[in-house]
Amino acid sequence: MRGWHAVSGERQDLYLQRLAFALLVGGGAHTLVCWLILQWGFFRGGDAAFAALFLLIWGGHLALLGFAGLRFNRRLEDPSMTEPLMVWSTAALLLSVAFVEELRLAVMTFFFAILHQGVFRVRRRRVARAAASAVAGYALVLLHLQLNGALPRPVAEWSQWLLFALITLAMVLLASEISSIRLRLRERNRQLSDLLERIQDLAIRDELTGLYARRHAMELLDKACRQSRRGGFLLAVAFVDLDHFKRINDRHGHQFGDRVLVRFAELTHRYLGEKDIVARLGGEEFLLVMPVIDLAQARDSVTGLLDALRAQRFMAAPALEVTASVGLTVVGQNETPDQVMARADHLLYRAKAGGRDRVMTAGPP
C-alpha cells in the first residue's frame, strides 16, 4: 500500500465496473460449472460442501468489490486491482478443484480467462508469476488428494495437469510477446507525442531564440488587448530593433549575429516579467507586450533592458557594443492590434531617425 493516488471519479467508476464484471460474470460462470458438476455427482461433499465453499468464494468476491467501492483501491500501486483480482480468482479455482472429481481440468480452464485479463494490464513478470502459482497450486491439490487416497486415476489426472501446464506456458509466452509489442507501441506513442510537441512548439516559437513567433505573438496580442479592455489595466507595446545588425553580421559573421539575438532573448527573460509577452518578429526585430500601471513603468522596463544589452560583451568582439532602438506606446481603449502595431512601428522609425539607441514613446491616441 502507498499514499492515495489521484484517480478521477470517471476513472474510479471504470475500475469498479471492470471489477464487478469480472467478479460477477466470471464468478457466476465458475459457480454454474461447479453446480453442474455437483448435479452430475462429481463434487465431493455434496450440497453442504458446495454451499459452504461458494459462500466463502462469493464472500471474497463481495469483499473485493466493497474494497474498491469504498475507494481503498486508490491506495494500491495499481488502482485497477488487476493483480489482486487474478490472485483471488486463481485461489477460488484451486479451492473448488480440491472438491471436484474427474472434471478438474474443466474448472481450471477458467484460469485462462483470468490470465487474459493480466496480459494487457500488468507486467509480464507478474503474469508469469500468476501462471506459475496456478500450475504449482494445481499440482499441490493433486498431490494432496493422491497422498490422501482421493485420486483414483492419478495417471489421467497428472496428464491433465501436464496439459494445463503446457497450455499455460504457451499463454505466458504469448503474453510476453504481447507485452513486448505493447512496450514498443508505448515507446512509439511517446516518440510521436514528442514529435507533435516539437511541431507545435515550432509553430508558436522562434527556433533560434525560443521566443514566440510572429503569428502566435499577434494572437496573444489580440487576446491581451481584449483582456486589457475588460480588466482595466494598461497594455504597453514596444517594437525593438537591434541597431546596425546587418553591419554586425557582415563584420563578424551570421553565427555571431545569431549569438547576439540569443543573448537579447536571454536578457528579456531576465529583465521583463513573467506576464510579459516577448516575440521575435523576424530578423533583428522584436515585439514586447507588457501589462503596466502607466507608460512610465513600461519605459523604465524597456530602458533597463537596453542598458543591460549595451553592457553585454562578446569574446569574439570585445569592443562591440550592441544597442537597440525602440518604439513604445500603450494600447488605446478601442484600438485594434494592427493599429497599435502601426503606431509602435512609426515610433520605432522616429527612434532610428533620431540617432538610434533610444526609446521613443507616445501615449494612447
Mean pLDDT of the region 148-153: 88
Does position 2 have pLDDT exceeding 60, yes or no?
no
Helix axis angle, 46-69 relative to 27-39, nearest 10°? 180
**Residue 204: which pLDDT band, with cuts at 50, 70 and 90?**
confident
Q: What is the pLDDT of residue 31?
A: 95
Does position 3 have pLDDT exceeding 60, yes or no?
no
Does position 175 have pLDDT exceeding 90, yes or no?
no
Q: C-alpha grid cell for residue 341?
A: 502595431
**Residue 29: which pLDDT band, with cuts at 50, 70 and 90?**
very high
Q: What is the pLDDT of residue 72?
A: 85
Tell me the β-bridge partners of 326.
240, 359
Mean pLDDT of the region 279-284: 92
Catalytic residue (one of 274, 284, 321, 335): 284
Burial bucket for residue 37 (CB in 10 Å: 0-12, 13-18, 19+) = buried
Which stretch of 58-62, 170-174, 202-206, 324-328 has the lowest confidence by average pLDDT? Answer: 202-206
Q: How far apart are CA 23 and CA 20, in angstroms?
A: 5
Phi/psi of residue 95, each to 5°? -60, -45
| pLDDT over 90 percentage in the chain | 61
Q: What is the pLDDT of residue 5?
A: 52
Does position 180 have pLDDT exceeding 80, yes or no?
no
Which stretch of 187-191, 205-209, 228-232, 308-312 has the lowest confidence by average pLDDT? Answer: 228-232
Q: What is the pLDDT of residue 79?
A: 84
Q: What is the pLDDT of residues 61-86, one digit of tens each?
A: 999 999 988 888 888 887 888 888 99
Residue 284 is a catalytic residue: yes
Q: What is the pLDDT of residue 92?
A: 95
Does position 128 have pLDDT exceeding 90, yes or no?
no
**Residue 256: which pLDDT band, with cuts at 50, 70 and 90?**
very high
**Residue 109: which pLDDT band, with cuts at 50, 70 and 90?**
very high
Query: CB of 262 within 8 A of CB of 278?
Result: no
| pLDDT over 70 percentage in the chain | 97
Mean pLDDT of the region 325-338: 91
Number of Cβ within 10 Å of residue 79's Cβ equals 19
Q: What is the pLDDT of residue 198?
A: 76
Rounded to the nearest integer, the mean pLDDT of the chain is 89
Does position 28 have pLDDT exceeding 70, yes or no?
yes
Selection from 227, 226, 225, 206 nearest residue 215 by Cα:
206
Q: C-alpha grid cell for residue 222?
A: 489580440
Q: What is the pLDDT of residue 8?
A: 64
**Residue 25: which pLDDT band, with cuts at 50, 70 and 90?**
very high
Give the chain as a 3 state SS string.
CCCCCCCCHHHHHHHHHHHHHHHHHHHHHHHHHHHHHHHCCCECCHHHHHHHHHHHHHHHHHHHHHHHHCCHHHHCCCCCCHHHHHHHHHHHHHHHHCCECCCHHHHHCHHHHHHHHHHCCCCHHHHHHHHHHHHHHHHHHHHHHHHCCCCCCHHHHHHHHHHHHHHHHHHHHHHHHHHHHHHHHHHHHHHHHHHHHHHHHHHHECCCCCCEEHHHHHHHHHHHHHHHHHHCCEEEEEEEEECCHHHHHHHHCHHHHHHHHHHHHHHHHHHCCCCCEEEEEECCEEEEEEEECCHHHHHHHHHHHHHHHHCCCECCECCCCCCEEEEEEECCCCCCHHHHHHHHHHHHHHHHHCCCCCEEEECCC
Does position 1 have pLDDT exceeding 60, yes or no?
no
Does position 6 have pLDDT exceeding 60, yes or no?
no
